[in-house]
Amino acid sequence: MTQPGTTEAGTTEPVLVEFTADGSLRLTAEVAQTFFPSDALVAVPRADELWLMPLIGPEGGGLLLKQRNPRGDRSALIWEALPPESPPVGERTAIWDAANGALRVSLR
């Protein structure tokens, strides 16, 4: 899956995502539309990162991104995929990894 703004290395410019204290992931409308146009994803913890991978549609399971406001920002409850000892809160940097088909979010 090639995304707009992808570099030769297969990554995009960094984007910001937000984690809330209650274990939700928040994405701007632009980030959601660019990387998760079907509003469905899976969240996979990998070392110090959380990999968010788009699904073709909600029929296959996974997490659904729900619209939060009229602007089109999205959110999903993902606390089960976060590290229980120190779940992230606040904004984190993410990059698109075309080779793995994942938006890789730093948990540090």
The number of residues in the chain equals: 108
In a domain, 74, yes or no: yes
In a domain, 6, yes or no: no
CA pair distance 61, 36, nearest whole angstrom: 14
Helices (H), 1-108: 29-35
In a domain, 51, yes or no: yes
In a domain, 5, yes or no: no
CA pair distance 68, 13, nearest whole angstrom: 24
In a domain, 8, yes or no: no
Q: What is the pLDDT of residue 84?
A: 87
Q: What is the pLDDT of residue 65?
A: 96
CA pair distance 92, 40, nearest whole angstrom: 20
pLDDT in tens, the chain (108 residues): 444 444 444 557 999 999 999 999 999 999 999 999 999 999 999 989 999 999 987 777 889 999 999 999 999 999 999 988 889 999 999 999 999 999 999 998
In a domain, 98, yes or no: yes
Quote the tokens at residue 15.
Answer: 């984007």
Quote the tokens at residue 36.
Answer: 């998760």
Range of the domain at 25: 15-106
Domain count for the chain? 1
In a domain, 52, yes or no: yes
Residue 36 has φ and ψ, to the nearest 5°, of -135, 60
Q: What is the pLDDT of residue 10?
A: 54
In a domain, 90, yes or no: yes
What distances in angstroms separate CA 69 from CA 37, 47, 73, one per listed residue? 17, 32, 6
Nearest by Cα to 16 from 7, 24, 25, 8:
25
Q: What is the pLDDT of residue 88?
A: 93
